[in-house]
Structure 1
Amino acid sequence: MKTRPVRSLLVANRGEIAIRVMRAATEMGLRTVAVYSHEDRFALHRFKADEAYRVGAGQKPIAAYLDIAEIIRVAKEAKVDAIHPGYGFLSENPDFADACEAAGIAFIGPRGDVMRTLGNKVAARNLAQSVGVPVMPATPPLSRDPDEALAAAAEIGYPVMLKASWGGGGRGMRIIQSEQELLTQMPVARSEALAAFGNDE
């Protein structure tokens, strides 16, 4: 796909992250576009951009920033050339990178297929193993069956790290010292990962 020059940039994030990206974009002479949830309507990042659009009407604040269709809608409406996701939120979501490409908007980050392999800790580990890179003992994605999850942890030995397959920033991550702790923390970690990354694996 032939790329066109980037003259305008939507920052699909909020707060200090968005402000830093917009500052760099402004220094490069780019028009900046911000998105904001209802709760962030008075946030500084909204006013640092050349233009700002509300996303996720009726949604909770984090869900608004995870709504791919809404971000793409605003990007088209604002006629931007590219989207920068910042970090967190949609930055590691391969479906978002694919949606940008399908809409003819440059995604500032890796392609969706690269993210699918490297953004998923299980797939990235498998790739590393396939080329001979030493890795820590780990399991495939944990089963929802408690007995299977307990057996997988017992095979490695406690303590173990319970970690979301997608995303980063420590969300969905727990140090687990015992079987009881694994049983109580798995649903909490899944819920946290789902809220942050849209995937509870």
Structure 2
Amino acid sequence: MDTEDVTQATEFRSLLEELRKQLLDACIHFDIWEELWPTVEVVGTINRFKGFFLPTRNAHLSQFFIKVCNVVSNDPKSPSLYRVLKMLDNNQQLAPGINTRSLHKRLRQYRKVLEGISDYRNTKAAHWDTQQMEQRKPVLFGDAKQMLKELQDIFNEIHKAHVPGNLYAFKTLQASDTSHLLEVLKVKPRKSTGNQL
């Protein structure tokens, strides 16, 4: 391996690590948002503490959208899947056996979901674009969850080809903390602050 190959491999590994962090953040925000959805089991608790849970749920949704946009950004300097695929197009030895055309095709099947996420990000989460008149279809939960799983699978395929035998689960050990918090709040009576009538 010559010096240029070593430099490219180091840059690629660093890019994959940053991409992994962005994707993990997206997964964490999605999981928390999902657990804070007002299902029959938790709606009473969420309503009791809605001053906390409603903005928290919205913040996690916004962060999920921002992180997904980072992961699929077309910006050539961003640590994104597109940058990873471009590097692979130029040097297949970074992840031998990866078919970049196939991965691009898999990403394109989520174009509408990604456009909806990008629209939300640009109008509500990261920017406040008042020039955007046309509202697109909302991003559906199932579509977003499926797209997130596909992004994880694509990342793991590339990473495994680059570092054989190494896969990521994109879950944290604290994944069920939100559910535990809701359970604790469900059984604890709310203390009076003295300001209630």
* TM-score (normalizing by structure 1): 0.25
State the structure with more CA Rg: 2
Q: Which has the higher helix share?
A: 2
* TM-score (normalizing by structure 2): 0.25
Larger RCO, structure (CA 8 Å, separation 6 or more): 2
Q: Which has the higher strand share?
A: 1
